[in-house]
Amino acid sequence: MDDPLAIFPIWVVAIDYVLGVVMWTLIGRTAMGLFLAEDSNFFFMKIFVRMTNPILRVFSRATPSFLIPALVPLFVAWFFYMVRFYLMPWLLGYDVMGMLSFPLEGEITKALFEMFYSPVE
């Protein structure tokens, strides 16, 4: 797997990292919301709610009213995914090659591979 900085300019990688962190934070909030109430005293749930509420407010006009509140963060995360997977490649002129073409997920996958893979000698 190639280094994202060798392929893309630094500002593209930075934008992808920010969008990726926001997307995964929204997904994390949805996952935690399946087990905890939004006003839970659990530290991580408080952090997820505090970090994502401003984003959810921005997207409130685009969110359909029929969605149950627990799925609203997942719906908004879908917007971030669509921007990362379709809009950024189209605007920047590179091909969509799948999940590992995202610099953030590619770096995480590379780190996990290096951590857990031991070649057979």
> Could you list the residue range(s) of the whole structural domain that residue 33 is in?
4-116
| Residue 25: inside a domain | yes
Residue 10's pLDDT band (cuts 50, 70, 90): confident
- For 96, residues 6+ apart whose C-beta sits below 8 A from its C-beta are 85, 86, 89
Distance CA 102, CA 84 (A): 8
Number of domains in the chain: 1
Q: Could you report the per-residue pLDDT of 66-119, keeping only the tens digit for each?
A: 999 999 999 999 999 888 888 877 777 666 555 446 777 778 888 888 888 866
Q: How much is the pLDDT for 95?
A: 62
Q: Taking the model in full, what pTM does it have?
A: 0.78
Determine, yes or no, domain membership for 90.
yes
CB 64 within 8 A of CB 87: no
Gap between the Cα atoms of 54 and 86, Å rounded: 24
pLDDT of residue 57: 96
**What pLDDT is recorded for position 4?**
62
Is 86 part of a structural domain of the chain? Answer: yes
Average pLDDT (9-17) is 83
What pLDDT was estimated at residue 78?
94
The pLDDT tens digits of the residues spanning 48-77 come to 899 999 999 999 999 999 999 999 999 999
CB atoms inside a 10 Å sphere around CB 48: 23
pLDDT score, position 89: 76
Residue 54 lies in a domain: yes
Residue 121 lies in a domain: no
How far, in whole angstroms, is CA 36 from its chain's centroid?
21
> Is residue 67, in this structure, part of any structural domain at all?
yes
Contacts of 34 (CB under 8 A, 6+ apart): 70
- Tokens 């590179």 locate to 94
